[in-house]
Amino acid sequence: MKKLLIWLTALLMAVGLGILVPGPASAATSYCGLQWGSLAKAGPDFSTASVTNVRTGQHYCFDRMVIDLNGPVKGYTVGYVSDITQDGSGAIIPVRGGARLQLTLKAPAYDQNGNATYSPRNRTELSNVSAYQTFRQAVYAGSFEGYTTVGVGVRARLPFRVLTLDGPGSGSRLVVDVAHFW
């Protein structure tokens, strides 16, 4: 009993002197080693390509949305917004989740003759994300005057990154990964 009291006293003194206090959380350490932020990201140019598909996937540390184009990705804006709005009319599209991420491509979802290159079966459920950790809903906000907009309802405002990838073939992809946690 006396040894236990001595150890307990030593432990309390060490904590009191700050010897055994954990250090402050570091900004350099983050979930899964991801060092992303939540501020808007953009690519500057207009694309001559058209949107052809939108799909989603789950990964260990993040949920992913991929937008396929039939040419090179050049211009886009991806960022958190208060509401997802329909292209052309500005009507608010209800989206599940604690935050809304808007992906606007400077590329139409139609060809030079006005024929649709992407026309989802269900504009309010582009993909079944019900079992995803971060995504809550994926919606199509339309394509108007050379812009195509897709919205993602996410659990909360979480860090994300944007990638552009070449292929397959002469096509390309805009990839948006949203981390599961900070």
Residue 58 CB neighbours (<10 A): 14
Compute the distance between CA of residue 172 and CA of residue 10 in angstroms, rounded to an integer: 63
pLDDT digits (tens, 9 = 90+) for 98-142: 999 999 999 999 999 999 999 999 999 999 999 999 999 999 999
Compute the distance between CA of residue 140 and CA of residue 157 in angstroms, rounded to an integer: 20
pTM: 0.81
- What is the structure's pLDDT at 40? 93
CATH architecture of 36-179: Sandwich (2.60)
- What is the structure's pLDDT at 22? 42
* Residue tagged 């290159």 (tokens): 117
pLDDT digits (tens, 9 = 90+) for 167-181: 989 999 999 999 999
Mean pLDDT of 80-105: 95
SS (H, E, C) 72-93: CCCEEEEEEECCEECCCCCCEE
pLDDT digits (tens, 9 = 90+) for 106-117: 999 999 999 999
Give the pLDDT band (50/70/90) at residue 25.
very low
Mean pLDDT of 26-55: 82
Residue 142 CB neighbours (<10 A): 18
Helical H segments across the chain, by residue range: 2-16
